[in-house]
Amino acid sequence: MKGQNPMEIIKDSIAGTLESSDVLVKISPSSTREIVINSAVFKQFGKQITRVVTETLDQLGVATGSIVIEDKGALDCIIRARLQTAVLRASATQELNWEKLS
């Protein structure tokens, strides 16, 4: 389910940190949507992290961009928040559709 006003990734951005229980999200423009997840807990939680990342990007209507996730065991809500911040920084969007930021 894509958003009505898709967020276009037009520049590089980062959000988050490399510290324990946090996540560093790196976004850059790309012609396709490419997600790479590197996680300290990928074996146990890889599927769950992938789902949270994909859902969040879908909600924001991010169709293209290179999204790199360096996860240090962050909770879902933190992954979502960091990803939203990185997407906002990487897009030209001035107005926020808060309903999409669940």
Partner 1 sequence: MDATAEFYSLQVKDTPAALEEIRALLAANDLALDEQVETFVVCRQQGRLVACAGLDHATIKCVAVAAQCRGEALSLKLGSEVVALAAERGRFHLFLYSAPHNLQFFRGWGFYPLVEVPDLVMVMENSPVAIRRYCEGLARLRRAGSKIGSIVMNANPFTLGHRHLVEQAAAACDWLHVFVVGENASLVSYDDRFALVAAGVGDIANLTLHPGSDYIISRATFPGYFLKETKIIEHGWAAIDLLLFRRYIAPALGITHRYVGSEPLDVVTNRYNQDMRHWLQQAESPAAAISVVELPRLTTGGRPISATEVRERLARRDFATLRELVPTTTLQFLESKFADAVQTAP
Q: Which is nearer to partner 1, 49 or 59 (CB)?
A: 49
The minimum distance between CB 21 and partner 1, in angstroms, equals 11
Vertex 18 angle, CA 47 and 77, to 5°: 50
Q: Which is nearer to partner 1, 2 or 42 (CB)?
A: 42
d(CA 70, CA 26): 8
Residues contributing to the site for partner 1 (CB under 8 A): 12-14, 17-20, 24, 26, 28, 30, 34, 36, 38, 66, 68, 70, 72
The minimum distance between CB 2 and partner 1, in angstroms, equals 23
The minimum distance between CB 72 and partner 1, in angstroms, equals 7
Q: What residue has token string 């808060």? A: 98
Q: Which is nearer to partner 1, 19 or 51 (CB)?
A: 19
Positive or negative, the CA dihedral 12, 54, 57, 62 is: positive
Cβ atoms of 23 and 79 within 8 Å: the answer is yes
